[in-house]
Amino acid sequence: MADAEVFAPSEGLFLVGRRPQFRQYLRETWQRRRFAFTLASYRLVGGLLRNRLGVLWLVLKPLAMATIYGVIFGGLLSSAARPTDWVPYVVSGVFIFEFFTGCVGSGSKSITSNTKLVQSLSFPRILLPISVVIEQALSMIPILLLLCIVLLVFGVPISVTWLLVIPIMLLMAVFNLGVVLILARLSVWTRDVQQMVPIANRVLFYVSSIFYQVDEVFADAPVLLTIAHLVPTYDFIALVRSVMLVDHPVSTVAAVAAPIWALLAISVGVVYFWRAEMRYGLSD
C-alpha cells in the first residue's frame, strides 16, 4: 500500500510514457499533422537527391517493371486471359499496385527504423506510419501523370471520369495506412514480419489481376471468381481501370468491397497501433 502511494502521481501530474486516451490521441495527432507532412516531404526529397536521375526514378522504376512483366506475360498468357488493350491494362495495374507495395514496405519499418527519434521526442507515434503513406502518396503524383500519358499514347480516349482516380487513390491511401499501422506494431514485436512483407506483396501481385482478366480466367469457377473479386489490391486496381480504361467495368463485389476494406483496415489499424503506444521505443 505504501509503495502504491509513493509511485502514485500527484494531482495534475501524469506518468511519462503512458498511453493517452483514444480521443486525446487522435486530437494530438491531428494537431501535429504538419510534422507528418514535413517528415514525408523531406524524406522524399532527400531520397531523390541521392540519385543522379532524381525525380525520374519515381517513374522509371514502375515503368521498367511494367515493361518487363508486360513482355514476359504477354507471351505466356492465352489470348482469352490477355485483354486487347494489353499495354494500358498492365501499366495501370503495375502503377497502382506500386502504391501499396511502397506503403507497406517502408511502413512496416516506420517505428523500428526510427528508434532514436521515438526515444528522443514526445509525439504520437502514429505520425511515423502516416508520414510514410503521405510520402508514397506524393511519389504517386508523377506516376499517375505518366499513366495518363501512356494511356493517351496507346489510344485510350481522355475522359472526365479520369478525375475519379483522385478519390479512389485517397480511399486506397486509407486502406494502406490501416495495413501499415498493423504491420508497424507487429514489427516492433518481431522483426520477422518485415521479412514476410515482400513475400506477401509478391503473392498479392499475382492474385490482383495485374496481367490477366480475372473474369475470363475464373469464368467457370464462380467461387474462385468471388474470392478474386474480394482481394483488396485487386479492388482498387479494378476501380482505377473502370474509370480510366474502356470496356473494363468494375464488378459490383469489388466496388462494394473496396470502401469496406478501407474502413475495416483503418479502424482496426488505428486502435491496434494505439494500444501499444507506450511500448514503442522501449526496446530494439
Is 74 domain-assigned? yes
Is 15 domain-assigned? no
Q: Mean pLDDT throughout 2-18?
A: 51
State the residue range of the domain holding 169. 20-277
Is 282 domain-assigned? no
Closest by CA position to 233, among listed 163, 185, 179, 155 = 179
Q: Give pTM, 2 decimals.
A: 0.87
The DSSP letter of residue 18 is P
Q: For the chain, how many structural domains are there in total?
A: 1
Burial 121-133 (b: 16+ CB within 10 A, else e): eeebbbbbbbbbb
pLDDT band at 16 (very low <50, low <70, confident <90, very high): low
Q: Mean pLDDT throughout 131-145?
A: 92
Closest by CA position to 66, among listed 153, 147, 167 = 147
Q: pLDDT of 75-132, one tens digit each?
A: 666 566 678 888 899 999 999 999 999 999 999 999 988 888 888 888 889 999 999 9
Q: pLDDT of 30-76, one tens digit each?
A: 999 999 999 998 887 776 666 655 567 677 777 787 788 777 776 66
